[in-house]
């Protein structure tokens, strides 16, 4: 079975809604990435060094990341030799195979989120202002609530104007309780109140918002550490997830933010928002390969149910849907 047929067989067994969200949500990246790739393939009669050099440019243009591109193209060179490939069109399938391979490994066997029955599960959301952190929390609350979990929100971003009110709006939309204090309050104190309330009400999952910008990066990271200490003191082994929210439309800036947060705190996964609004969706691959942090969820639209668990094969289907559907 060819790799394209394997992906096609997998998505055939899924609901149309999941397949459609990835296909529609990645349409801008697909037009930019696979469109340019198809044009490039049509110009070459053979696979030579000039072919690989232009391929590098196309991949870098999709924000796959310089180091990842160099590594990927080197692997393609070896694979082309091993398989004795001379037709450029045959390289497309190998490219897709290698992109999926970047995501294979231990993370594939793990659940999207470390949520277990019989305990208070605490998920801490971090990230700079403007990336869609509060919106992501609201969408995840809706998702977990629809799965039968009792969910509560903690309004720990007490510094950004309107952040508490924004989270309250999402709490109403998702029909979950929001624990808050007044603007400018100590975020760690908000977390303490939320933890006590969550324990008293038998909550399954507590989703915690945090500040995205203080006076400088040091202050921000110190504040996050303080919040984590309070959580860990009240619930051993918590937080169970630290999710870094990044805006996909910022491309390589998202990669830089991920690197900075990884250096300062224990990020367990990434939520990449606004993937439907960018032509540079290759940033998913750059983050995974460059930082070894799994992208656990992606935002593919503005609706409350447009937050989707990340799946490598669904992702590459979204990138190459037109090509895969032809097979």
Q: Is 131 annotated as a binding residue?
A: yes
Q: Is 273 annotated as a binding residue?
A: yes
Q: Is 130 annotated as a binding residue?
A: yes
* C-alpha 150, offset from chain centre: 24
Q: Is 32 annotated as a binding residue?
A: no
Helix (H, G, I), strand (E, B) or coil at 44: coil
Q: Is 23 annotated as a binding residue?
A: no
Give the sheet arrangement for strand 205-208, strand by strand. Answer: 177-179, 151-154, 205-208, 121-126, 241-247, 269-273, 295-299, 307-309
Q: Is 128 annotated as a binding residue?
A: yes
First to last CA, the chain: 12
Helix (H, G, I), strand (E, B) or coil at 265: coil
Q: Is 162 annotated as a binding residue?
A: no
Q: Is 211 annotated as a binding residue?
A: yes
Tokens of 147: 């799965």
Cβ proximity of 70 and 56 under 8 Å: yes
Q: Is 216 annotated as a binding residue?
A: no
User: Which runs of consecutive H residues, i.e. helices, occur in 44-162?
Assistant: 49-61, 66-83, 88-103, 106-109, 133-146
Q: Is 150 annotated as a binding residue?
A: no
Q: Is 249 annotated as a binding residue?
A: no
Angle between helices 49-61 and 66-83 (to 10 degrees): 140
DSSP 277: G
Q: Is 279 annotated as a binding residue?
A: no
Q: Is 35 annotated as a binding residue?
A: no
Q: Is 323 annotated as a binding residue?
A: no
Cis peptide before 261 (omega within 30 of 0): no
Q: How far apart are CA 271 and CA 281, in angstroms?
A: 13
Q: Is 2 annotated as a binding residue?
A: no
Q: Is 154 annotated as a binding residue?
A: no
Helix (H, G, I), strand (E, B) or coil at 246: strand
Q: Is 275 annotated as a binding residue?
A: yes
Q: How far is CA 261 from CA 243, 291, 299, in A?
A: 10, 11, 20
User: Residues marked as binding?
Assistant: 127-134, 209-213, 273-276
User: Residues marked as binding for GTP?
Assistant: 127-134, 209-213, 273-276
């Amino acid at each position: 079975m060819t790799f394209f047929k394997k992906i096609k067989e997998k998505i055939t067994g899924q609901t149309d809604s999941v397949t459609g969200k990835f296909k529609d949500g990645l349409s801008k990246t697909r037009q930019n990435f696979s469109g340019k790739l198809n044009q490039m393939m049509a110009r070459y009669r053979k696979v030579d060094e000039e072919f690989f050099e232009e391929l590098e440019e196309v991949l870098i243009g999709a924000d796959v990341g310089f180091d990842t591109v160099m590594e990927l193209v080197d692997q393609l060179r070896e694979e082309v030799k091993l398989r004795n490939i001379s037709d450029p069109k045959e390289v497309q399938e190998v490219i897709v195979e290698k992109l999926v391979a970047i995501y294979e490994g231990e993370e594939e066997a793990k659940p999207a989120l470390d949520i277990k029955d019989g305990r208070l599960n605490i998920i801490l959301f971090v990230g700079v202002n403007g990336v869609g952190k509060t919106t992501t929390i609201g969408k995840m609350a809706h998702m977990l609530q629809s799965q039968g979990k009792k969910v509560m929100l903690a309004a720990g971003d007490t510094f950004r104007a309107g952040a508490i009110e924004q989270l309250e709006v999402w709490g109403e939309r998702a029909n979950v309780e929001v624990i808050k204090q007044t603007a400018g309050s100590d975020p760690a104190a908000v977390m303490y109140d939320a933890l006590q309330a969550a324990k008293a009400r038998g909550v399954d999952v507590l989703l915690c918002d945090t500040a995205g910008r203080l006076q400088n990066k040091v202050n921000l990271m110190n504040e996050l550490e303080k919040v984590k200490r309070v959580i860990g003191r009240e619930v051993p082994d918590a937080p169970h997830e630290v999710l870094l929210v990044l805006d996909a439309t910022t491309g390589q800036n998202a990669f830089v933010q991920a690197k900075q947060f990884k250096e300062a705190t224990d990020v367990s996964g990434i939520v990449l928002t606004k993937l439907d609004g960018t032509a540079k969706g290759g940033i998913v691959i750059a983050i995974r390969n460059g930082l070894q942090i799994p992208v656990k969820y992606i935002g593919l639209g503005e609706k409350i149910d447009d937050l989707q668990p990340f799946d490598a094969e669904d992702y590459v289907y979204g990138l190459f849907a037109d090509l895969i559907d032809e097979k």
